[in-house]
């Protein structure tokens, strides 16, 4: 099993290009099932999770080709199978997003209940309640969601009980081919939801309001193909900014959407970082200063993203002062705390949703183990700032969400290599 070996203590600086967003690519890949025409996706990141989704599309009978420019072309003209198996869905929660498109276009779908990172229950009840409101008959049998809509889905007004990104995306896709109008109220507003909406519009869907809490979709009979470029990964961008900040260095990131990172910029500026923003770039400079500890609380967009919480905890671990971190999205997302403390951090857990981080002058290398995707990179960040050589085990978690991590870190001066 691969591990990362990191020699800490290097001040990172340089320029990186941001990859395509994993959290946008996965629902967009699922949405290619809504049309029988060819779809070409540019800037799909080459990650384990994306590979899993491509394998799932192929398992369903879609024709998937990756060309010489690494674009992904999907043609789902004639599917041979409408069942998404446990073997694929168990490894990645986003696989469940094929349910809406399959049901809307084919009137039937069987999708295993999802897996993914062990960061809480994350039920799919909002997905199912919404589809039932659109006329689907649903039962859960032997761990599979079996959904039927023999005469097609019907538009409906759906008010979700809580803000759910996956639920919003699944229902957006299903509504595109439903008869009549669907209104999604209390919808997620994340930039990745906007990107999915823009992609659906490029296919010919009649959709408005994506990016607000109320999305309106007027169903159409069929959708066409298109060529589409996936948005930049705001979580990757924020993570590499923290890599520069935690080592008191500087970085310039190219090919990103700065507007999607507003609250992350605010928090980094509170640590003492100087941030300059352009149309499609951002530069961070710590000017050799140690960061100052900053309190944060995760929240649905436009609040502080839960996918940046672990990375910011690593930054607070070496900051001046103490800070409180509150996790409001998932109930089991502090698994990195014990591993950070192994590196010499001083972090106290106060129940399942609050941690108090007391900054220390230095971290020291130690063997540590990754537990989930974002927590994995918090250990990388801590190792970059630590004295000595840290070995991080179970880094397959990192490969699920970060493209070519060693190459990118080496580009900005990190001493890192993958070892078996």
The answer to whether 126 and 164 have CB atoms below 8 angstroms apart is yes
Residues that are catalytic: 117
* 373: number of Cβ within 10 Å: 24
Q: How far apart are CA 377 and CA 383, in angstroms?
A: 10
Q: What is the DSSP string of 150-205?
A: TT--B--EEE-SS--HHHHHHHHHHHTTSBSEEEEES----HHHHHHHHHHHHHT-
**What is the separation of C-alpha 192 from the centre of its chain, rounded to a whole number of angstroms?**
9
Residue 412 CB partners (closer than 8 Å, separation 6+): 12, 13, 14, 15, 16, 240, 243, 244, 249, 251
> Per-residue confidence of the chain (420 residues) as pLDDT tens digits?
899 999 999 999 999 999 999 999 999 999 999 999 999 999 999 999 999 999 999 999 999 999 988 899 999 999 999 999 999 888 888 999 999 999 999 999 999 988 543 434 457 999 999 999 999 999 998 889 999 999 999 999 999 999 999 999 999 999 999 999 999 999 999 999 999 999 999 999 999 999 999 999 999 999 999 999 999 999 999 999 999 999 999 999 999 999 999 999 999 999 999 999 999 999 999 999 999 999 999 999 999 999 999 999 999 999 999 999 999 998 778 989 999 999 999 999 999 999 999 999 999 999 999 988 778 899 999 999 999 999 999 998 898 889 999 999 999 999 999 998
Residue 266 CB partners (closer than 8 Å, separation 6+): none
**What is the separation of C-alpha 372 from the centre of its chain, rounded to a whole number of angstroms?**
12
Q: Which two tokens stand for residue 140?
A: 């859960």
- State the pLDDT at residue 115: 57
Q: What is the DSSP string of 22-34?
A: HHHHHHHHHHGGG
Helix, strand, or coil here: 307? helix
């Amino acid at each position: 099993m691969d591990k990362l070996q990191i020699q800490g203590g290097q001040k990172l600086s340089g320029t990186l290009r941001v990859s395509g967003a994993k959290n946008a690519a996965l629902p967009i890949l699922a949405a290619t099932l809504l049309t029988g025409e060819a779809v070409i996706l540019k800037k799909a990141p080459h990650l384990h999770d994306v590979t899993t989704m491509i394998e799932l599309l192929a398992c369903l009978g879609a024709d998937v080709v990756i060309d010489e420019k690494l674009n992904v072309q999907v043609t789902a003209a004639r599917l041979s199978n409408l069942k998404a198996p446990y073997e694929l869905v168990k490894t990645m929660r986003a696989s469940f997003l094929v349910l809406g498109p399959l049901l809307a276009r084919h009137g039937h779908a069987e999708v295993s209940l999802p897996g993914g990172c062990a960061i809480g229950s994350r039920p799919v009840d909002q997905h199912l309640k919404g589809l039932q409101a659109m006329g689907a008959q649903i039962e859960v049998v032997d761990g599979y969601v079996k959904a039927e809509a023999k005469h097609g889905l019907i538009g409906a007004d759906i008010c979700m009980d809580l803000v759910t990104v996956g639920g919003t995306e699944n229902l957006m896709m299903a509504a595109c081919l439903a008869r009549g109008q669907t209104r999604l109220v209390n919808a997620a507003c994340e930039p990745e939801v906007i990107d999915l909406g823009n992609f659906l519009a490029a296919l010919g869907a009649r959709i408005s309001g994506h990016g607000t809490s109320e999305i309106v979709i007027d169903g159409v009979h069929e959708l066409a193909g298109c060529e589409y470029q996936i948005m930049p990964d705001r979580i990757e961008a924020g993570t590499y900014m923290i890599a520069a900040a935690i080592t008191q260095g500087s970085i310039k990131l190219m090919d990103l959407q700065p507007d999607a990172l507003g609250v992350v910029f605010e928090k980094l500026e509170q640590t003492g970082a100087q941030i300059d923003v352009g149309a499609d770039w951002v530069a961070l400079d710590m000017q050799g200063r140690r960061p100052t500890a900053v309190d944060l609380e995760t929240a649905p967009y436009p609040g502080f993203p839960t996918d940046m919480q672990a990375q910011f905890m690593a930054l607070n671990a070496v900051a001046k002062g103490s800070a409180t971190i509150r996790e409001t999205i998932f109930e089991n997302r502090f698994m990195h705390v014990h591993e950070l403390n192994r590196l010499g951090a001083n972090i106290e857990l106060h129940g399942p949703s609050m941690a108090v981080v007391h900054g220390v002058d230095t971290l020291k290398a130690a063997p540590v183990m990754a537990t989930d995707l974002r927590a994995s990179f918090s250990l990388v960040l801590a190792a970059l700032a630590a004295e000595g050589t840290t070995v991080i085990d179970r880094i397959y978690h990192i490969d699920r969400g970060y493209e070519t991590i060693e190459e990118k870190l080496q580009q900005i001066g990190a001493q890192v290599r993958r070892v078996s």
